[in-house]
Structure 1
Amino acid sequence: MKKTAMVVMLGAVYLGGMSNVFAQSSALQWKSEDGTDSVQLGGVVRLNQRYENWEGENGGFGKLHFDIFRVDLKGKFDDAYFNASYLFQDQEKRSIEKAYVGYNLNENNNIEAGFVYKPFAIYPYPQNGWTYHIPFFLGYGNNIAPGINWNFHNKDWDLKLGYYPEMLSTNLRYSPESATYDDLSENAFPTQSAYQNEKRHQLNTRIVRKLETDFGKQEFGVSGAIAQLHNKTTDKNGKYYAVGLHTDNNYKRFNLQSSVIHYQYDAKNPDGVNDDMTLMGANGLTPAYFIASEGTVASLNLAYTLPVQDMGKLKAIRFYNDYSYLDKKRDDWSDSQMNTTGMMFIASPFMVWADYTWGKNSNIIGGATNATGFTSTVSPNSDKWLYRINLNLGFSF
């Protein structure tokens, strides 16, 4: 029997991901003396304050509001491991960010099963800032589903293949996904009641070529996804597909991410239902909304990390600009755009985002007054540039 020791892990580490710079959670960890077995418990608490220049509850700066409380649990036992995150959110909502077990078949291959990430393009976070961008609201960011992933990696390649027989329950989703009105009815509108499509038997693949250069790591990738699109009313199966290209390039302290994704939902709707729109939703934190059933979304994210010395816990400041653009297949539907400029302060166990987002025809910018943003843009604030100033404070434990 292995002896175990309990240690408290404190500090900061710089990792790849949403911003390539993250503070490691201060965590309570149990670890065997030989290091083969461990269990780590941690999490984060976040508070949020914002100003929005359209009519709504955030029309002026007010007090800090609760954002999330996340609990993270992960561990390993020889070649087996597990990783889970559960979120308590604003408005008394709950969601699962991930929850899976894995096994290392050898040094290059592993499999993961449970509520796993659906690998696609830039993931899990398709932007640097706290404010999610258009790819996330189309289902291409931090998106999980019950299923299984196979992963292969070496110094040159990163290959992922996954199968998901159904999508995660709408009341547990963190990331939006296509869903039936019946599943979203508590947070949907009667005008959406005819939309009854859900994905089944989805397959995802992501193939990445990695390069090590004298001035930084480079990544070039291609992604694909296909699924059945089952309609509960007609009991017929349509189809969904998406293809994507992405890059993740580093030059010293600069990071540049880019992606282009084309997607299509081809539903077998009843007569009289507009096939050009698809219903999306998550756990009820925001109302269900329509997106264009076919479109191309592009993103370009630039960041610069400035190390900081002799300023106490503050170790780095990351400056970033995230831009995303959605072109809809229908020529009479206006495009959607978002741009976020901001800074992230890394001072483990604290992390602060301060960003300014402006955009048009995007549901997140305009809310209920821009409810058609990702489709026909005929809401009161359609085709208007609106902005939001956001401050998010996080504490890791």
Structure 2
Amino acid sequence: MVRHTPRLLLALCLATQPVCADEKQRKLQQELKSILEQMVTLQARVKELEARLAEHDNDTATESNSATKADSDEIESVRMPRAPDPRLAQLERDVKAAKNAPIRVGGAVRFQYVYQDYAQGNKDRGGDVDFDLIRLDFNGEIGDVILAAQYRWFQYMEAVQKAYVGYNLSKFWQAQVGIINVPFGNLPYNSHNYFFSSNFYAGLEDNPETGANLRYRSEKWEWDLGFYKNGEQGGVDGFVSNRDDRYAYDPVGIRIAGEGIFDAPSEPMAQNNSWALRGARKFTLSVDSNLELGLSVQHGDLHNGSNSVGERSVLGGHLRYNKGPWELMAMASRYDYDLAQENEGVVMGAYAYFDTMPARATLYTLNLAYDLPVSWGPVTNLRFYDNYSLMSAKSGLSDDTFMNVLGMAVSAGGLYTYFDLVTAQNHPFVGGSMGVDGGDTNTRFNINFGYYF
């Protein structure tokens, strides 16, 4: 819009008026002059308001520009690195450490109910409830070095179950050094029940020694190669107070004529510089069934602390078949203690007592199990099983050893409970020994409650 200056308009009006105007005309001119002066004042007021409005617009624009810059700075701060916050840096280090060093501490507390028809006092009382064990487990890795360790405290002894370090050499290969299980047969166990199989009492199931393992695992193959310098107690003259305080059975002496089957050995002996090789081929038969077949070999020296007193050799073959909830395990093995002196067998030590087994024997195991998932409060699974073991062709003895365990295992949160009905003849922990003839057939009912964490 075009604006005109009021003084210019007044000059034009006066210039057009006649020189000899009358009084009326002069009054009109005065009124016009007054109106024009008001217009000048109004224009000044308008200019003042326009100036203030312009100033307000500038302030608004400045604030808008500042906000835009702040937004831009915020965006830029996301794009551009800032100076490191020491608290954030420490938090990142803590998170990294938590991810790379998860040494997990776990364990178990177990107690049990026992009824033995071969122990008159226990039978008369209707069985007994006693403490079994407390154990601690350490598992994990720091800087790619694996740790696995377990220690157990019983009422009557304490013992290490395993303690080794390992390293994954590749996707398939792993090396382990320390107190570690000797690979043999079905792994990790050749049984489903609390009492294992008879192989355990001959030192052929879940048996730790001090040495090194090299393991290979793939979809189709398992290979284990191990060298063991001596047992977990440091050899025949290791610095231990009781050579029978062991988690698993090991040869600790030679049983000579005239000694009782449960006596401490007068002729000490232990394994030395032993080797183990295990191979297994796995077959996928269908979506829910698979088969594993394998062979195991062990060989090593026997030492009395001063000299070699013989050699120990073991050969075994195993089978494991899974189909859905069913599992079938079978195994046959033969062990031979070729001793340089006459003997009545081999002294075995474990669980704070000594026992005797023949110097040579053949073992057979056959196990069947069925898993039933359930949803009964905390109970999530029931495992039903029947495990059978037989030791025959025993050197110097005519009677066989057998054990049958019919049972059920219940999973309920951290609680794992075995219900075992054990029937056996000439068997450790069931009123007998593998090193004798003529034993009775005994029955033991056992409920072992274990809380694992």
Q: TM-score, normalised by structure 1?
A: 0.82
Of 289, 295, 301, 2:355 maps to 289
Which structure 2 residue ranges, 5 or more long, are not aligned? 1-89, 234-242
Alignment-mate amino acid for residue 106 of structure 1:
S
Preserved contact between residue 39 and residue 74 of structure 1 (Cα < 8 Å): yes
Preserved contact between residue 323 and residue 337 of structure 1 (Cα < 8 Å): yes
The residue number in structure 1 matching 2:435 is 375
Question: Is residue 2:280 matched to residue 1:219?
Answer: no
CA drift of 1:242 comes to 0.1
The residue number in structure 2 matching 1:58 is 122
1:163-214 C-alpha deviation (Å, 9 max, x unpaired): 11111223552001001379xxxx9855x54433221001011101112232
Instruction: Classify 1:160/1:179 alpha carbon distance in 2 versus 1 (closer, same or farther; 3 Å).
Output: same
The residue number in structure 1 matching 2:326 is 254
The residue number in structure 2 matching 1:8 is none
In percent, how many aligned pairs have the same letter? 26
The residue number in structure 2 matching 1:385 is 441
CA drift of 1:56 comes to 5.4
1:13-41 C-alpha deviation (Å, 9 max, x unpaired): xxxxxxxxxxxxxxxxxx856x4431111
The residue number in structure 2 matching 1:82 is 147
CA drift of 1:313 comes to 1.1
CA drift of 1:318 comes to 0.3
Which structure 1 residue ranges, 5 or more long, are not aligned? 6-30
CA drift of 1:97 comes to 1.0
Matches within 5 A, 1:1-397: 3-4=93-94, 32=97, 35-55=99-119, 58-59=122-123, 60-91=125-156, 93-169=157-233, 170=243, 173-180=246-253, 190=263, 193-213=265-285, 214-232=287-305, 235-269=307-341, 273-274=342-343, 276-284=344-352, 287-309=353-375, 311-330=376-395, 332-366=397-431, 370=432, 373-378=433-438, 382=439, 384-397=440-453
SS for the counterpart of 1:362 is: coil
1:320-364 C-alpha deviation (Å, 9 max, x unpaired): 000000003447520010000010000111111111000111132
SS for the counterpart of 2:102 is: strand
CA drift of 1:264 comes to 0.2
SS for the counterpart of 1:130 is: coil
Instruction: Classify 1:189/1:154 alpha carbon distance in 2 versus 1 (closer, same or farther; 3 Å).
Output: closer
Question: In structure 2, how many angstroms separate the alpha carbons of the residues matched to 1:32 and 1:250?
Answer: 40
Question: In structure 1, how many angstroms separate the alpha carbons of the residues matched to 2:293 and 2:318?
Answer: 6
Question: In structure 2, how many angstroms separate the alpha carbons of the residues matched to 1:57 and 1:292?
Answer: 30
SS for the counterpart of 1:121 is: coil
Question: In structure 2, how many angstroms separate the alpha carbons of the residues matched to 1:376 and 1:189?
Answer: 11
Bigger fraction of residues in helix: 2
Preserved contact between residue 231 and residue 237 of structure 1 (Cα < 8 Å): yes
Alignment-mate amino acid for residue 153 of structure 2:
F
Question: In structure 2, how many angstroms separate the alpha carbons of the residues matched to 1:48 and 1:331?
Answer: 36
Alignment-mate amino acid for residue 374 of structure 1:
M
Alignment-mate amino acid for residue 420 of structure 2:
D
Preserved contact between residue 299 and residue 323 of structure 1 (Cα < 8 Å): yes
Instruction: Classify 1:57/1:178 alpha carbon distance in 2 versus 1 (closer, same or farther; 3 Å).
Output: farther
CA drift of 1:148 comes to 0.6
Question: In structure 2, how many angstroms separate the alpha carbons of the residues matched to 1:232 and 1:73?
Answer: 33
SS for the counterpart of 1:288 is: strand
Question: In structure 1, how many angstroms separate the alpha carbons of the residues matched to 2:180 and 2:107?
Answer: 19
1:126-181 C-alpha deviation (Å, 9 max, x unpaired): 21111233111000111101111001111111101111111122355200100137
SS for the counterpart of 2:199 is: helix
SS for the counterpart of 1:212 is: strand
Instruction: Classify 1:56/1:141 alpha carbon distance in 2 versus 1 (closer, same or farther; 3 Å).
Output: farther
Q: TM-score, normalised by structure 2?
A: 0.72
Bigger relative contact order (CA 8 A; separation at least 6): 1
Question: In structure 2, how many angstroms separate the alpha carbons of the residues matched to 1:217 and 1:78?
Answer: 35
SS for the counterpart of 1:179 is: strand
- Answer with 98-107 or 213-222: which moved more: 213-222
Moved over 4 A (4+): 187-190
Instruction: Classify 1:188/1:300 alpha carbon distance in 2 versus 1 (closer, same or farther; 3 Å).
Output: closer
Alignment-mate amino acid for residue 279 of structure 1:
V
Question: In structure 1, how many angstroms separate the alpha carbons of the residues matched to 2:97 and 2:322?
Answer: 36
1:200-250 C-alpha deviation (Å, 9 max, x unpaired): 0010111011122322232111000001012458x3431100001011110
- Count residues with an aligned counterpart: 348
Alignment-mate amino acid for residue 227 of structure 1:
G
Preserved contact between residue 388 and residue 404 of structure 2 (Cα < 8 Å): yes
Bigger fraction of residues in strand: 1
Alignment-mate amino acid for residue 61 of structure 1:
G
Preserved contact between residue 229 and residue 266 of structure 1 (Cα < 8 Å): no
Instruction: Classify 1:57/1:4 alpha carbon distance in 2 versus 1 (closer, same or farther; 3 Å).
Output: farther
- Answer with 330-339 or 314-323: which moved more: 330-339
